Structure 1
Amino acid sequence: MSKDSSVVVFDFDLTLTRWDTAERFFRWMLRRDPWRLALVLAGLPVLGPLLLIRATRKWPIRFAVWVATLGRTPEALAALAEEYIRSLPMGHASVFLPAAIQQLQAHLARGDQVVIATGCVEALAQTLLRHAGLSHVPLVASTLRPFLGGLVRDQHCFGPNKIPMLSARGFAPPWATAYTDHRADIPVLRLSSERYLVSPTPKCVAHIERALGIKATILAWR
């Protein structure tokens, strides 16, 4: 193992959290402005069928994000994340899984280097972690860039792209431990000595076990 062998990589959505945080955030942004929601609905006849195919699903999602962010800057997005968290019945406590946070803090207490790598948009993930008192934990997340008056994907911290993004931040593999709920993180799991799946579906477990040739260790946090 390298000098980075004590690095522990946590996924974010559905690993540390109860739900897909970016999805709910952007839906909230669309609903609060009826014209934005109407614009997305107007595009459904063309974009809706693309949601049924894994390879094309990203395009209607990107369109919805662009509509949700029309006329907004990255700074405005951070302010909206604050407003969104305040709108939740229990604030950030509604979002995080207590068992997951306890495990993350246990790693920190042991002196492990913990990093969170997530496809969630950076502004939202940063704000949620700050509210949870975890702003000191390094975060590698997806970023957005301006495009035609809105914001679109820049770097997507998802699947195999997590590896170069983590490496660029000083967390190159191999890693000691990885936690995730999703088979998209197989590239990260493959480069980790210990691997934990958080409340995965049976299909996800079967896929990961076939890909890695191991028996999965499951944590029932959700």
Structure 2
Amino acid sequence: MGHCRSFFRWLLRHDPWRLALVLASLPVLGPLLLLRSTRKWPIRFAVWVATLGRTTDALASLAEEHIRSLPMGHASVFLPAGIEQLQAHIAQGDKVVIATGCVEALAQTLLRHAGLSHVPLVASSLRPFLGGLVRDQHCFGPNKIPMLSARGFAPPWAVAYTDHHADIPVLRLSSERYLISPKAKCLARIEQALAIRATILAWR
């Protein structure tokens, strides 16, 4: 998710007029960022501006350009320990799927660069709207469950890995749960919600 935000910021900076349009909207939309209930509207507007005049195919090409512009390429996004763990599951014959709130075009490109394009992916999708692209399905929090189910990965799950408390609904439906270098607040929320002692993986 964090890198997805970075990608859309890069898209805005890629064409100065896009960034200028977002900045011009701040007097109206800026205050909405202060409340969690309204924060989504300025973010959705920024995504629409970033994709204005662009197709989903064009977005995939831009994702490729963006990854190549990173100092370490895809290696600056993926945790080496995470890739090793994923490959270990595959080697054991486990059925593995990656579910991420990242937009699909970027997530697919990142996986391809990491040599993981064969791993099933369930990610957030966009749809055309007034010349740009807006959110269609957001693979985040409880919405991951129906999206995974629709792709043939219905719960219960044997193992789940996460670094965000938004995945509590997914963790509830998993037999084993691993938290990746969680922040203290995230750890507390998950342990309180699930009434368990979490298993922590210090990968960062």
TM-score normalised to structure 1 length: 0.90
Worse overlay, 29-38 or 87-96: 87-96
Letter in 2 for 1:114: V
1:120, CA displacement in angstroms?
0.4
SS for the counterpart of 1:71 is coil
CA RMSD, 1 decimal: 0.8
1:204 corresponding residue in structure 2:
186
Aligned equivalents of 2:110, 2:142: Cα separation in 1:
24
1:48 corresponding residue in structure 2:
30
SS for the counterpart of 2:11 is helix
1:161 corresponding residue in structure 2:
143
SS for the counterpart of 1:43 is helix
Alignment of 1:66-215 (within 5 A): 66-215=48-197
1:61, CA displacement in angstroms?
0.8
2:8 corresponding residue in structure 1:
26
1:78, CA displacement in angstroms?
0.4
Aligned equivalents of 1:131, 1:154: Cα separation in 2:
25
2:198 corresponding residue in structure 1:
216
Aligned equivalents of 2:152, 2:167: Cα separation in 1:
19
1:116, CA displacement in angstroms?
0.4
1:64, CA displacement in angstroms?
0.6
1:122, CA displacement in angstroms?
0.3
Aligned equivalents of 1:159, 1:56: Cα separation in 2:
18
Worse overlay, 91-100 or 178-187: 91-100
SS for the counterpart of 2:153 is coil
Letter in 2 for 1:39: L
Aligned equivalents of 1:47, 1:103: Cα separation in 2:
42
1:221, CA displacement in angstroms?
1.1
Letter in 2 for 1:203: K
- Structure 1 gaps of 5+ residues are 1-12, 14-19
1:56, CA displacement in angstroms?
1.5
Aligned equivalents of 2:203, 2:38: Cα separation in 1:
31
1:215, CA displacement in angstroms?
0.7
Aligned equivalents of 1:181, 1:52: Cα separation in 2:
24
SS for the counterpart of 1:111 is coil
Aligned equivalents of 2:199, 2:45: Cα separation in 1:
37
Letter in 2 for 1:100: G
Letter in 1 for 2:131: G
1:201, CA displacement in angstroms?
1.0
Aligned equivalents of 1:47, 1:199: Cα separation in 2:
34
SS for the counterpart of 2:101 is strand
- Structure 2 gaps of 5+ residues are none
Q: Which portions of structure 1, spanning 4 or more consecutive aligned residues, are displaced by more than 2 angstroms?
A: none
Q: Deviations over 1:43-74 (max 9, x none)?
A: 11121122222221111111110000000000
Aligned equivalents of 1:138, 1:198: Cα separation in 2:
21
Aligned equivalents of 2:120, 2:177: Cα separation in 1:
20
Aligned equivalents of 1:47, 1:178: Cα separation in 2:
37
Provide the aligned length of Structure 1 versus Structure 2: 204
1:9 corresponding residue in structure 2:
none
Per chain length, whose mean CA-contact separation is higher, i.e. which structure has more relative contact order (CA < 8 Å, sep 6+)? Answer: 1
